[in-house]
Amino acid sequence: MSICVIIPMHGFAEMTRKCIDYTIKNAGIQHTILVVDDGSPEPFHDDRVNTIRLEKNLGFTGATNAGILWAMDRKYDYVLLLNNDTEPEPDFMRFLLEALFKDSEIGVAGSTRIIYDKEGDPLIENFGVDLISGYQAYTKDALDKDRVYVAWLPVCSALIPMEVIKYVGLLDKRMKTYCSDNDFCMRAQALGYRIALVPDSKIKHFHQTTTKHLKLYNQATLDQRVLLEKLSCSLQRQLLETYPICWSEKTWGKLIFSVYKKEKDPVLLGKEEDDKLNQPVAA
């Protein structure tokens, strides 16, 4: 049995080294670490780990996929996807692996994430609540369960069998930074796997360090649009009838399609005429 820990990073070398320190100390089982240097201004190097460097910044999804392919080529049995802005707690990896052993239907086993509010008080970030904005379910105390089956969870600390990835596929590279984890979890479920939160497995998570530094504010909207487009043409339409679109706004909904004719190519028209031609004639 072999596990490859994949840590994508862009800059923040010292934070990445601290993540490596905690991973080595607190994994609880044997593992190998691969750092994917996603085009950092200064190349990353650490003698304790393997490193591959991408000359062009591909974002979280592209860097993660590059790491998965590296591990797949070397025939690892599992990959553990881990953000570089995390500090794993004792035995975090062992708890995830035990969950997979207990239920062979689990395709993704994820850790709970300890974050801190504006007052510096800890909150526990559990699974994802809504699909599009990625809102998380928070609790003050750890969930008193061995594992919790959920719709999706962030893959900032998630253990996935390589056989699952071979069946489900890589993360969708069209979603460069956001939503590719939501999408992967949904694709895994559509193929019969379960998504499990493992409360005993904990990491401290210092949210969105890289994305805030790179000011990727517009990328979330672009990635969310790709996810919505995938949902609208899949057999999972009924999911949105019972699943919150945005938990924080308490909004729910169904996908509704309009049918209309295009008499002219709207690309060649002004906005006013374009709008007029594209009024729905049936719903």
Report yes or no on 158 lying in a domain: yes
Report yes or no on 38 lying in a domain: yes
Task: Identify the pLDDT of residue 244.
Answer: 72
Report yes or no on 244 lying in a domain: no
* Residue-number span of the structural domain to which 213 is assigned: 3-232
Judged against a pLDDT cut of 70, whether residue 210 lies above it is answered with no
111-115 mean pLDDT: 94
Cα distances (angstroms) measured from residue 167 to each of 161, 164, 183, 188, 191: 10, 5, 14, 8, 8
Q: Which of 16-25, 129-138, 261-270 has the highest mean pLDDT?
A: 16-25
pLDDT tens track for 219-258? 888 888 888 888 776 555 566 666 677 777 777 766 565 6
Report yes or no on 273 lying in a domain: no
CATH of the domain at 23: 3.90.550.10
- Into how many domains does the chain fold? 1
11-25 mean pLDDT: 96
H/E stretch holding 161 reads strand 157-161
Report yes or no on 145 lying in a domain: yes
pLDDT tens track for 32-60? 999 999 999 999 999 999 999 999 999 99
Report yes or no on 31 lying in a domain: yes
Task: Identify the pLDDT of residue 142.
Answer: 87
Report yes or no on 283 lying in a domain: no
Which residues are CB-contacts of 203 (< 8 A; sequence separation ≥ 6)?
82, 86, 87, 88, 89, 92, 111, 112, 113, 114, 156, 157
